[in-house]
Amino acid sequence: MVAREDFTRLTGPYRRELIAHCYRMTGSLDEAEDLVQETYLRAWRSFGRFEGRSSLRTWLYRIATNACLNALEHGRRRVLPAGLPLDGLAAYGMPPGGHGDAAWLQPLPDRVAGLGSWSPADPAEVAVTRQSVRLALVAALQYLPPRHRAVLILRDVLGWRAAEVAGLLGTTTAAVNNVLRRARARLAEAGPDPDAIREPAEPGLAAQYAAAFRDADIDALMRLLTSDAVLEMPPLAAWFRGPAAIGRFLSDRVLTGPGVMRLVPAAANGQPGFACYLRHGDGGYRAHAVQVLEPRAAGLGRITIFLDPALFASFGLPSVLAPDLAPDLDLVPA
């Protein structure tokens, strides 16, 4: 029997990348963490039979991928509001959950996926992971059937050979290559524009956004947006396109005055992001939403605001900021 400390020492370093893998497959941090936990439990039970025909990393990915495929058999596809056939302004005022039984995509904190500058991982690997968990890309992946999703991720993200993928899925190399072609074509239709992953022309774009949001400066916010920018706020089904519509909504419903919101840096999906705290009657600020920004060369192309205070724990952030601490924590990256 393998000692628990040996199993933990050998398999522990792969936990973060396995969470990123399961997140790409499911679009949910909660599900990804549960599936990685299941992966480690299965691996522990069968570790004595591991013969080393593949690397330990590949073996763990096999277990994790199968766990994801089993979970997705009966799961619902996770989406973002802008991916639904609803005009944003027509849905104005729609209550949470207003689009039937839609299951919403969740953000992936950089700290959970090991994407921070402090990460001990190889910088090249971090760069690949950062690109492969972009919010728009993960949202597009959810439109692929689960097995197609697995083939695309294993081949194009992890670099597996077609024969390895075929062995995992119990199919042929020819079938894998055929699925890969179809998955790539579908992703090209539903996926983000290549411009979406380019670095912004203005490196201080996120800081400018945070200052404008904090100060309720709608005009400044609108100047930071691209002409086709989108604002979405799961679990609200409403979404808005274009600076004018976004500015009108924020002015009417969100940014009613300076200081109503405070933003604390909270990077997610390899993109700049903020934890947003809402001011309450006692002067303190309470967890309200997590914002993920999509910078483009011409400005901000998408703002996704996850209206779920429960997410703050995964970012390692408190649910309440005391009045005297809030100004000190109101930090934005340069």
Closest C-alpha among 262, 286, 285 to residue 274:
262
- pLDDT value of residue 89: 43
Q: Is residue 157 within 8 Å of 183, Cβ to Cβ? A: no
Closest C-alpha among 291, 301, 27, 236 to residue 140:
27
- pLDDT value of residue 265: 94
Q: Which CATH architecture has domain 1-75?
A: Orthogonal Bundle (1.10)
Structure tokens, 113: 């996926």
* Single pTM value for the model: 0.89
Mean pLDDT by 10 residues, the chain (334 residues): 74 95 97 97 86 85 97 90 62 46 89 72 75 93 96 96 96 97 91 62 84 95 96 92 95 90 94 94 90 93 96 96 59 44
Site of tokens 């997610």 = 268
For residue 39, give every residue at least 6 positions away whose Cβ sits within 8 Å of its Cβ, in sequence order, or none: 18, 22, 60, 63, 64, 67
- pLDDT value of residue 276: 96
Closest C-alpha among 97, 247, 74 to residue 146:
74
In the chain, where the domains are located: 1-75, 199-329
Structure tokens, 295: 């910078």
Q: Are the folds of 1-75 and 199-329 the same?
A: no
Q: To which H or E segment does residue 69 belong?
A: helix 56-72
The CA distance from 44 to 37, in Å, is 11
Q: To which H or E segment does residue 31 belong?
A: helix 29-46
Q: Which CATH architecture has domain 199-329?
A: Roll (3.10)
Closest C-alpha among 34, 108, 98 to residue 68:
34
Q: Is residue 214 within 8 Å of 259, Cβ to Cβ? A: yes
- pLDDT value of residue 199: 60
The CA distance from 62 to 149, in Å, is 14
For the chain, the residue count is 334
The burial of 328, by beta-carbon neighbours within 10 Å (0-12 exposed, 13-18 middle, 19 or more buried), is given as exposed
Residue 256 β-bridge partners: none
